[in-house]
């Protein structure tokens, strides 16, 4: 049962990154509809994909599609809100071997650059911090508008071991893979 918790922690970390980058990329002029938005971290345990979801986060955004380079974004994700669908797994993911939510209650992302990548694609560069470990990441984000809503979608692969997510017996990547993919779908109303 520890393996699923490990995956949960990985996913939570990845979800944090994805959510941070996605929110930071294009949501400055809109309110995110949390009921319709998702941030999911997918890892593989014994080569089987496992998904986990973050339930609590906040973001501060400033983005104008006409001036993407002037945009800024920051996000904070509550690591204790990571949900694998079972309380036992969620508590394990909050533990020291995974997110260590008592010592590191949030994962953060702060953008340093936003650049157009063609069409409705953007690359958001920034610093992702999980468990006190920081890495510069580049997140691809696709933005679509339909009627009164905008959607922001993307996927960011990260290595959990670079953030000390999965320590002790969980540091071995033969059972739980090192790569975690953070996928996000954010829905907002246009303002």
pLDDT at 12 > cutoff 60: no
Where is pLDDT greater, at 88 or 109? 88
pLDDT at 60 > cutoff 80: no
Task: Give the Cα separation of 175 and 45 in Å (integer).
Answer: 6
Task: Give the Cα separation of 185 and 155 in Å (integer).
Answer: 9
Mean of pLDDT values over 13-34: 45
Residues 153 and 141: beta-carbon distance below 8 Å = yes
pLDDT at 75 > cutoff 70: yes
Mean pLDDT computed over every residue of the chain:
79
Instruction: Kindly report which listed range (2-16, 46-60, 95-109) carries the lowest average pLDDT score.
Output: 2-16
Task: Give the Cα separation of 88 and 109 in Å (integer).
Answer: 28
* Portion of the chain with pLDDT greater than 70, in percent: 79
Mean of pLDDT values over 18-27: 38
**Quick check: helix, strand or coil at residue 44?**
strand
If one looks up domain 2-190 in CATH, what number appears?
2.40.128.110
pLDDT at 102 > cutoff 90: yes
DSSP alpha helix (H) spans, 27-164: 87-94
Mean of pLDDT values over 89-101: 92
Q: Where are the domains of the chain?
A: 2-190
107's CB contacts (< 8 A; 6+ apart) are: 12, 13, 16, 17, 20, 76, 77, 79, 99, 128, 129, 130, 131
pLDDT at 108 > cutoff 50: yes
| pLDDT tier for residue 80 given thresholds of 50, 70 and 90 | very high
Mean of pLDDT values over 102-118: 92
Where is pLDDT greater, at 23 or 144? 144
Instruction: Kindly report which listed range (15-24, 61-70, 110-119, 161-170) carries the lowest average pLDDT score.
Output: 15-24
The whole-number pLDDT of residue 190 equals: 63
The whole-number pLDDT of residue 63 equals: 66
The whole-number pLDDT of residue 30 equals: 47
């Amino acid at each position: 049962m520890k393996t699923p918790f490990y995956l949960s922690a990985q996913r939570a970390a990845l979800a944090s990154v994805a959510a941070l980058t996605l929110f930071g990329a294009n949501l400055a002029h809109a309110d995110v509809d949390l009921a319709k938005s998702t941030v999911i971290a997918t890892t593989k345990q014994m080569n089987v994909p496992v998904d986990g979801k973050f339930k609590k986060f906040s973001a501060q955004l400033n983005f104008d599609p006409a001036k993407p380079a002037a945009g800024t974004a920051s996000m904070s994700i509550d690591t204790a809100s990571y949900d694998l669908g079972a309380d036992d797994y969620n508590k394990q993911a909050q533990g020291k071997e995974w997110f260590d939510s008592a010592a590191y209650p949030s994962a953060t992302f702060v953008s340093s650059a936003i650049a157009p990548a063609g069409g409705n694609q953007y690359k958001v560069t920034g610093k992702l911090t999980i468990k006190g470990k920081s890495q510069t990441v580049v997140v691809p984000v696709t933005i679509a508008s339909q009627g009164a809503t905008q959607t922001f979608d993307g996927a960011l692969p990260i290595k959990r071991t670079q953030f000390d997510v999965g320590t002790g017996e969980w540091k071995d990547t033969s059972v739980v893979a090192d790569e975690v993919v953070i996928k996000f779908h954010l829905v907002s109303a246009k303002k």
